[in-house]
Structure 1
Amino acid sequence: MPVYNAGSYIERCAPSLVNQSLGADAYEVVYVDDGSTDDSAERLGRLAEAHAHVRVHRQENSGWPGRPRNVGIDLSRGKYVQFVDQDDELSYEALERLYALAERNGSDIVLGKVHGTMQGPSNVFKRTVERCTAADAPLFESLTPHKMFRRDFLHEHGIRFPEGRVRLEDQLFMARTYVRAKTVSILGSYPCYRWNRREDGGNNSSRRITPDDYYGHLGNVVEAIKEGTPPGDLQDRLLRRSYRVELLRPVSEPRVLRRSGKDLEAYFTTVRRMAMTSYPAGVREGLPAISRLRAELLVRGRLDSLVELARRTEQIRAHVEVDDMRWRNGRLVIRTRIGMVRGDGEPLTVVRRGGRMLLDPELLDGIGGAEDWEVPDPFTSAHGELIVHDTAGNHWWYPHGELTPVLEPLGGDRHRVVVTGETVIDPLTLTGDEPMAPGAYQVWASAQLLGVGRRLRLTPTPGGTRVILGTVAVGAPARLVSPTWAGPGGQLRLAVGAPGRIGTTRRLLLRTAADHRLRHSVREILRRLPADTSRNVRATARRAERWLLR
């Protein structure tokens, strides 16, 4: 852990490091104090005195985390190195589980599921993956270094963090490791790393960023990928992430709509030059329709068209339809369909003309250089899924059943791209090795279509019938799971009771009684109450039933 003026964050993080389930004799905690000017040195000294497996190294300030991390690698004596930042925490079993996965597979890198206030849902951690590489897994979607690395792997390839004030140093380090790693493992069944947003905003640098500065460092990341891969499809795929996320960002909404004048022109000029000199043509060609159009307008120098395209694309919204929802063998099965609609409420379409498929002419009408924009494959990068959010722990979980992209006719030559299919939420397996913990869970829908990505709450289909389901008891000891439509827009939520806890059952009954449309849920609870349930709880249930039926 690199430390600089961490203050009380040292004590906030320390318990999660020194009390790992792996056992104090199996690992060490190496703090590298990068010349702190507050009381961090004293705090670290007290930690080292209290814990034999804590070591502290103090050095002159280097101004950035790269050097202290490199020093930490050199000082460490373990087979593996796990990086942690001073604001963050490890879960209790993180090192034990990551180590077991690494040893089982001979892994060079192990990614542990990330959660916390700095991390949204990431499908990199959708499932546990025993063995993969950058060629067959979306590793470049996770570019922070908060992972476990085999120390000899880093030494064998001479992989170090850039030192000094270097932007994107984490991306550069990860690019160098990913293209050289022969075996990577992903632990998706257990939240390992809590990535916290500091109350004082200390996660973010206060130093002003210029376009030349930022994109000059991005160029180093691009070159690192090129050095580690031969020209061709794999290299293009690995470079596509930085092109889509970093390079196109200044000419996409919302940023291109917030900047103006010389500031906007400076970013536009910088990213255009980099697009034309640093990336092979195959990178752009593999982008989905709207992203590829942005890339084309960028190369042509059409800033005015990029701004107008951003205005219209910003208004695009996802539209989700719940076609069916039912319990099946203790699992909640939801059939959904997700598409995109323009700002005027009409579907985002593709049109067949003259043997070609063109991007929505009404969306592009009047945008110079975007006329008759061809869509060679409307399914490029198209995907969708439902995601379950544990609001208490801020964990995001991915049920089984990805949605499949299909082309739906709208009449004449117009079609829309949608993703559709069944999603299965199994309360006993959704959250990894343990059943869903007691609490409230929100269900969200996510889709990427034609280069537009949106996440939205799963709500009843507008104008359709609201599906009402009963409560079921799952597992042994049994826990009650109750689907309800509640909160903003009537979002689908799952209320999970504690196994064998009658008090939780009673509270669930009272919550259920708040909506007369859920009377079948109360009847189901009554039917499933254990024989030894107290009279008080049964009386509460009967009162709820009578209230619902009045």
Structure 2
Amino acid sequence: MLKASIVVPVFNAGASIERCAPSLTGQSIGADAYEVLYVDDGSTDGSLSGLHRIAERFAHVRVVALGNSGRPGKARNTGVRTARGEYVHFVDQSDELAPDALERLYRLARRNSSDIAFGKAYGESLGPAGAFRHTRERCSVRDAELFETLTPYKMFRRAFLLDNGIEFPEGRVRLADELFLARAYPLARTVSVLGDHPAYHRRPAARARSTRPPGPEDYYRQLRAVVRAVKERSEPGPVQDRMLRPAYRREVLRPVTEPRVLQRGGRQLERYFELVRRLALEEFPPGVAAGLPALPGLRAHLLETGRLDGLVELARRTARIRVRVETGAVRWRRGRLVVPVRVWLVHAGGRPVALARRADGRLLLDPVLLDGVPGARGWEVADPFADTHGEVLVKDPRTAQFWYAQNDLRPRLEPLRGGRCHVVLSAEAVVDPLTVAGGGALPAGRHEMWMDVQLLGLGRRPRLALPRGAARSARRAARTTVPGRPPRGRLAGWHGAGAQLLLRAPEPAPPADPLR
């Protein structure tokens, strides 16, 4: 048996076939250990001929031709049944694998007897994902937020899929990938995540299939099927609630959250409101909404109690909330960049988004924010730190890859006047240029510094920048030389009109000529 099979559904892929093939045919695991299985779904542009030409050049490439089904589900299912590998890894026709992705993932999966293993994905359309904050040898739906990543570009133990009858829906089915993962995640005993090494490069699709956009009724009917798939494969309780919560927050609340709830109006808005309200009341157990952080929890309450007017007014106000970033003196310490950061939420005028403390110690969401919002008065915040997090990120703008600094920001309540308080995230984030890029050195070039912040259920992703009027001394660039062979200089400083923090890594010096 081969170690792995790469399954690639193909439909009218055009030039992307030849462009992406080298990343699949040249995997470091060795050609005798895996196969590339292209499954053509009735292409009409000559893609099938291109696939056969690749198969003629590489003995570990096979091609299967199907009639057109309209979606990649049938091609993927055929690939699983036809594959000869212990594991199958799904790859889309326009995407690429890192040269050592298959080797790393297979080694990780075999070491842990994993049913599913997946690696860090990156691309222009992808932002940082918490799932890839660290490598996780063993996890499951019981202790990890796996339902935050519902793309199929993962490695699955083939016997796990076949024994449990886990397949992609075939034909023109919306949310097919989500339904497939909803069937797989709850049954997986062990999932492994390769978080600190880029494995999957997501590229724009070569050509989209020409279909009409689905109406909301069809879309939420398919979402209902995803929710039911989770419930059919799990017992009611906290674990099931945890699996369903991302769908509630991301899909059910989206039409009643800014910007969408402010872009629609009249009968169109009411149509979406009634669809998601009915779905929330009929399919989601009460514990799902009860576990949401402050603002999404309030939106869920307004949705389920039928207060569309309150949702619209709340959206108008939260759309104006910004994140305030206070940056201390950036410095180098033993070859590492140290960035002191404090973060909190503010209203449009700069006033902190506050919590009011009652005499009994309970906390209420900012009365200034909620005053006049129908159905929202006196909303209690049971846990002000629920789903609160903050990270400093290093971004390579050329590849759209994100890397995480050391030391995540930690939340605390800071007092304000009048018996109020607010949630503040703070830390000294540390960037080691020699290890931050998945354990390796930062590539040469200019890198941006970003933040990924979630406070009270509001997510923001600001650039690290100095506030207006910052002292000139704070704008001075800092140079250091990081040990290595040869030593590599680093330059960090605040640049441009927005005084944004940039980290520059120069090209390594060429090795010395031994003859000179």
Q: Taking structure 2 as the reference length, what is the TM-score of the superposition?
A: 0.94
Tell me the SS of whatever aligns to 1:80: strand
Q: 1:246 aligns with which of 251, 276, 285?
A: 251
- Other-structure match for 1:84: 91
C-alpha distance 251-270 of structure 1, shift in aligned 2 (>3 A): same
1:472 is the counterpart of 2:491: no
Tell me the SS of whatever aligns to 2:462: strand
Q: Give, in angstroms, the shift of residue 203 of structure 1.
A: 4.9
The 5-angstrom pairing of residues 71-220 of structure 1 reads: 71-198=78-205, 202-203=207-208, 206-220=211-225
Tell me the SS of whatever aligns to 2:328: strand
1:489 is the counterpart of 2:498: yes
Q: Distance in 2 between matches of 1:426 and 1:288?
A: 33
1:261 is the counterpart of 2:270: no
Q: Choose 1 or 2 for highest CA Rg.
A: 1
- List per-residue Cα deviations over 1:286-341 (Å, max 9, x = no partner): 11111111111111111121111111111111110013432222111222111011
Tell me the SS of whatever aligns to 1:179: helix
Q: 1:229 aligns with which of 230, 234, 254?
A: 234
Q: 1:418 aligns with which of 424, 444, 448?
A: 424
Report if aligned partners of 1:324, 1:336 keep a CA contact under 8 Å in 2. Answer: no
1:388 is the counterpart of 2:397: no
Q: Distance in 1 between matches of 2:332 and 2:233?
A: 49
Report if aligned partners of 2:198, 2:438 keep a CA contact under 8 Å in 1. Answer: no
C-alpha distance 179-28 of structure 1, shift in aligned 2 (>3 A): same
Tell me the SS of whatever aligns to 1:267: helix
Report if aligned partners of 1:320, 1:445 keep a CA contact under 8 Å in 2. Answer: no
Q: 1:400 aligns with which of 406, 422, 439?
A: 406
Report if aligned partners of 2:475, 2:499 keep a CA contact under 8 Å in 1. Answer: no
C-alpha distance 394-58 of structure 1, shift in aligned 2 (>3 A): same
Question: Residue type matched to 2:309 in 1?
Answer: D
Q: Give, in angstroms, the shift of residue 259 of structure 1.
A: 1.3
Tell me the SS of whatever aligns to 2:363: strand
The 5-angstrom pairing of residues 455-466 of structure 1 reads: 455-465=461-471, 466=474
Q: 1:51 aligns with which of 44, 58, 62?
A: 58
C-alpha distance 130-206 of structure 1, shift in aligned 2 (>3 A): same
Tell me the SS of whatever aligns to 1:111: strand
**Percent sequence identity over aligned pairs:** 53
C-alpha distance 488-146 of structure 1, shift in aligned 2 (>3 A): farther
Q: Distance in 1 between matches of 2:182 and 2:71?
A: 19
Q: Taking structure 1 as the reference length, what is the TM-score of the superposition?
A: 0.88
Q: 2:349 aligns with which of 344, 349, 358?
A: 344
Q: Give, in angstroms, the shift of residue 279 of structure 1.
A: 0.5
Question: Residue type matched to 1:226 in 2?
Answer: K
- Other-structure match for 2:438: 432
- List per-residue Cα deviations over 1:214-251 (Å, max 9, x = no partner): 11111111112212221111111111100000100000
Q: Give, in angstroms, the shift of residue 189 of structure 1.
A: 2.2
Q: Distance in 1 between matches of 2:131 and 2:300?
A: 26
- Other-structure match for 1:499: 508
Report if aligned partners of 2:405, 2:430 keep a CA contact under 8 Å in 1. Answer: yes
C-alpha distance 100-205 of structure 1, shift in aligned 2 (>3 A): farther
Report if aligned partners of 1:324, 1:467 keep a CA contact under 8 Å in 2. Answer: no
Q: Give, in angstroms, the shift of residue 501 of structure 1.
A: 4.5
- Other-structure match for 2:27: 20
Q: Distance in 2 between matches of 1:236 and 1:320?
A: 33
Question: Residue type matched to 2:393 in 1?
Answer: I
Q: Distance in 2 between matches of 1:74 and 1:487?
A: 55
Which of 1 and 2 has higher RCO (CA within 8 Å, sep 6+)? 2
Q: Give, in angstroms, the shift of residue 206 of structure 1.
A: 4.0
- Other-structure match for 1:506: none
Question: Residue type matched to 1:269 in 2?
Answer: E
1:291 is the counterpart of 2:299: no
Report if aligned partners of 2:196, 2:438 keep a CA contact under 8 Å in 1. Answer: yes
Q: Give, in angstroms, the shift of residue 488 of structure 1.
A: 5.5
User: CA RMSD of the aligned region, Å?
Assistant: 1.8
The 5-angstrom pairing of residues 299-314 of structure 1 reads: 299-314=304-319
- List per-residue Cα deviations over 1:339-376 (Å, max 9, x = no partner): 01112321111111332311111111111101111111
Report if aligned partners of 1:326, 1:469 keep a CA contact under 8 Å in 2. Answer: no
Tell me the SS of whatever aligns to 1:102: helix
- List per-residue Cα deviations over 1:74-126 (Å, max 9, x = no partner): 11001110100111111111111111111222111111110112211112111
- Other-structure match for 1:62: 69
- Other-structure match for 1:548: none
The 5-angstrom pairing of residues 503-518 of structure 1 reads: none
Question: Residue type matched to 1:35 in 2?
Answer: G
Report if aligned partners of 1:442, 1:493 keep a CA contact under 8 Å in 2. Answer: yes
Report if aligned partners of 2:116, 2:157 keep a CA contact under 8 Å in 1. Answer: yes
Q: 2:383 aligns with which of 377, 382, 393?
A: 377
Counting matched residue pairs gives 503
| Structure 2 gap ranges (5+) | 1-7
Report if aligned partners of 1:240, 1:283 keep a CA contact under 8 Å in 2. Answer: yes
Q: Distance in 1 between matches of 2:402 and 2:38?
A: 30
Tell me the SS of whatever aligns to 1:422: strand
Q: Distance in 2 between matches of 1:184 and 1:256?
A: 36
- List per-residue Cα deviations over 1:41-81 (Å, max 9, x = no partner): 11111111111111111111111111110000011001110
Q: Give, in angstroms, the shift of residue 463 of structure 1.
A: 4.2
Tell me the SS of whatever aligns to 2:131: helix
Q: Distance in 2 between matches of 1:45 and 1:405?
A: 56
Q: Which moved more, 1:128-137 or 1:57-66?
A: 128-137
The 5-angstrom pairing of residues 439-454 of structure 1 reads: 439-454=445-460
Q: Distance in 1 between matches of 2:508 and 2:139?
A: 37
C-alpha distance 456-488 of structure 1, shift in aligned 2 (>3 A): farther
C-alpha distance 85-165 of structure 1, shift in aligned 2 (>3 A): same
Question: Residue type matched to 2:499 in 1?
Answer: G
Report if aligned partners of 1:109, 1:181 keep a CA contact under 8 Å in 2. Answer: yes
Question: Residue type matched to 1:490 in 2?
Answer: A
Q: Distance in 2 between matches of 1:203 and 1:378?
A: 43
1:353 is the counterpart of 2:358: yes
Tell me the SS of whatever aligns to 2:239: helix
Q: Give, in angstroms, the shift of residue 461 of structure 1.
A: 3.8
Question: Residue type matched to 1:476 in 2?
Answer: G
Q: Distance in 2 between matches of 1:488 and 1:26?
A: 53
